[in-house]
Amino acid sequence: MDYLKGLNEAQYEAVTALEGPLMVLAGAGSGKTRVLTMRIAHLITNLVDPFNILALTFTNKAAKEMKIRIAKVVGDSEARSLWMGTFHSVFARILRSEAHFLGFPSNFTIYDSQDSLNVIRKVLKELNIDADLYKPKKVQARISNYKNNLITVKAYFNNPELIEADERANMKQIGLIYQKYVDVCFRNGAMDFDDLLLKTNELLTRFPEILAKYQDRFRYILVDEYQDTNHSQYLIVKALASKFENICVVGDDAQSIYSFRGANILNILNFKKDYPDAKTVSLEQNYRSTQNIVNAANVVISKNVQQFKKNVFSENEEGEKIKVYRSLSDADEANFVASNIWEMHNSAQRKFTDFAILYRTNSQTRAFEDALRRKNIPYRVYGGLSFYQRKEVKDLIAYLRLLVNENDSEALTRIINYPARGIGETTQNKLIVFADSQNISVTQVLDNLGFYAPRMSLNNGILTKLSDFWSMIKAFQVMLKTENVYSVTMEVAKRSGLIKFLKDDQTPEGISRVENVQELMNSMQGFLEEQIQLDDGDASLSNFLENIALSADTQTDKNDDDTDKVSLMTIHLSKGLEFPIVHLVGLEENLFPSFMSSSTREEVEEERRLFYVALTRAEKQAFFTYAISRFQWGKITDAEPSRFLSEVDAQYLEFINPAIESRFVNHSGITSNIFDDLPSEPRFYKKKEEKKTLQRDEPIAIPQNLKPVATARIINPSGNSSQDIEVGDKV
Ligand code: ATP
Ligand code: MG
């Protein structure tokens, strides 16, 4: 039992207490996830069938990593039969096999948040509701909130308090929008992300025999990051565990950072109420980080009033102090981080994967991407607009969705005239209006075009186009019965005219669109190979679509996990992960804490927990950066350092700003080199006309024959204005 040797006493206790309810409540880096992983290995070693184990993780990535670790102890084939993944992916899988109980097709489409926003926009339009008063995103958040609290449309209309609350918020029409939204999704055979949980709850409450079936299957249930489960998730777990009560949850209240999505810290408190006999274990030793990092994180989180007091310590090396860099602008900040990574990569022989850049909001990525790219540092952005949400990729996927689920009218409207085939908006509207008037779907109209055509005023030319389009879709469907998904998709991309349409655009953007389509094909190839290797592999198109709909966290350019890249992500996405060196950037008031969440104590406390999460990702070293001015919302704004910086006791920090002047080396009177990786003899190329007094942030066009190699600051001779520019060699 080698795997048990690497555990401390408390961890050992948690791993080996196989039966009964158990909660591990402990600080960051104390081995909660490790306990969960080893517990699963231990269960299997003790002859529990992996098929009877359900493990719920926070990201797909986490599930994948845990599976690999478990496989090392119990072997591949055992690990493969585990039910392990995010709530959404596990329950999507269950819903697929039980969908008919709820009146959904088993090939239901999963709407990501963009799709669902599109539906909301259409609903608003149909109901003639002003989208300025009812901002679609706000409506979406409200509906999501209802769903996560299991408030169905019916429950909503039966609850005068909710209706009144919405009236007070000047959102009296919400109920109506909600109803229509749910109707449209149902008609389209689609579920949004929240539905995956809501419908699972519905399934388990309305059909006792189904509940019993899954209770018997999931005899052992384990949940990581329990502090961030919402009400809907809580109820699912509770229902499934109620028969055997072999439930183990691990979490840290100090890392609860999803309350804006309905995460409910009370779930931890309720655990003891729900299972009065529950065993609780606390872990105190942090194995991840240096003492300096752990102590700094502890000081900050202790400022929160709302928390369980915990003792967290590290016996690792004391480590270096956290270096704090004050930058002049967001571009300067990004350049510092990129140079720092470059330097540590070269001098300290660090791999690029050792580095993470963590930020509060997605919009901060661009500056870092630019700076890294200039230095040719490979990087990977997690989250944000994922690969599968890029327009050209979504367009091709829409064709595939339509093949699997004809009723998916979102997909249909996306591609019926894309690439353009003469089926304009007027025609589309006629179809929709007619279908509505007959109480049938557009698909049904298209299926029986000959029959319905005389009752719609469509001319023969249009009719031919419609029937050509629909026969093409039908032909793809037939092909799907005999050919693999890769060949079918290739055929779709060609015959629909999509590839040709994209290839006609020879601009760099156009070329990259074609490459993205190619990348989608590659990821499909990867999927096929993966499924073939699995015992219970499912190489169907609907499984492929489900995988990508749920892959928001793993994202980007397919299977490149092993390559050496710097990770860029929001703090939210970094939860549970660890990196030797972390750059926590944008530590400014109104950015972090965010201007949207610094008005109440509760909000600031959640931001502080975010800060705690970010800092505790670092193993060896952490860097804090902030800018004194930042380009935001289209203008330069002055920024103040974040309050969290001052909350970290100064003994843990080291300010590394060199005196500003010393960073400039005179060159040709106006150009100076600020970054170390420039050649000692700057080989700048300067155009004569640029030798003028430059205003700060005044843009300079870089001549096309220049290859940027670094960033330099230009100051005018009097020294009272400066600007960062890209400089380079002649190519
Ligand atoms: P978080 O709250 O951030 O999710 P966690 O409590 O889940 O953290 P883990 O990720 O499980 O912590 O562990 C943190 C690190 O410490 C991991 O690299 C893990 O391998 C290591 N670790 C945990 N327990 C031990 C131990 N007993 N001996 C050595 N290393 C350990
Ligand atoms: Mg963890």
| pTM, 2 dp | 0.80
Residue of 13, 66, 288 best suited for mutating to test ligand 1, as the one with most atoms within 8 Å of CB: 288
Distance 330 CA to ligand 2 centre (A): 31
CA distances, 675 to each of 160, 345, 377, 416, 727 (Å): 63, 15, 16, 53, 12
Question: Which ligand has an atom closest to residue 613 CA?
Answer: 1
Q: Does residue 648 surpass a pLDDT of 90? A: yes
In sequence order, what are the residues at sequence separation of 6 or more whose Cβ sits closer than 8 angstroms to the Cβ of residue 619?
Answer: 288, 289, 290, 293, 578, 579, 580, 581
pLDDT tens string 253-266? 999 998 877 777 78
14 contacts 39 by C-beta, under 8 angstroms: yes
Burial class for 118, CB neighbours closer than 10 Å (0-12, 13-18, 19+):
middle
Q: Does residue 26 surpass a pLDDT of 90? A: yes
DSSP state, 617?
T
Helix axes 87-98, 193-206, angle to 10 degrees: 50
Specify whether 32 is catalytic.
yes
DSSP state, 536?
T
Distance 579 CA to ligand 1 centre (A): 12
* ipTM higher than threshold 0.95: yes
pLDDT tens string 188-237? 999 999 999 999 999 999 999 999 999 999 999 999 999 999 999 999 99
pLDDT tens string 562-580? 689 999 999 999 999 999 9
Scored b (16 or more CB within 10 A) or e, 481-516 reads eeebbbebbebbbeebebbebbeeeeeeeeeebbeb
Mean pLDDT of 322-333: 90
304 contacts 606 by C-beta, under 8 angstroms: no
Per-residue confidence (pLDDT) for residue 561, from 0 to 100 = 54
pLDDT tens string 421-473? 999 989 998 998 898 888 888 999 999 998 998 898 888 999 999 999 999 99
Q: Does residue 295 surpass a pLDDT of 90? A: yes
Q: Which residue has the higher pLDDT, 206 or 698?
A: 206
636 contacts 697 by C-beta, under 8 angstroms: yes
CA distance 281 to 635: 51
Residue 707 in 3-state DSSP?
A: strand
Mean pLDDT of 645-665: 68
Percent of the chain with pLDDT over 70: 87
Per-residue confidence (pLDDT) for residue 663, from 0 to 100 = 29
346 pocket-lining for ligand 1 (C-beta < 6 Å): no
CA distances, 97 to each of 10, 105, 239 (Å): 40, 10, 19
Taking the chain, what is the end-to-end CA distance rounded to the nearest angstrom? 61
33 pocket-lining for ligand 1 (C-beta < 6 Å): yes
Which candidate in 112, 192, 225, 332 is catalytic?
Answer: 225
44 contacts 50 by C-beta, under 8 angstroms: yes
Query: Which band of pLDDT confidence, cut at 50, 70 and 90, is reported for residue 514?
Result: confident
- Chain position carrying tokens 């502080």: 608
Which candidate in 59, 233, 255, 555 is catalytic?
Answer: 255
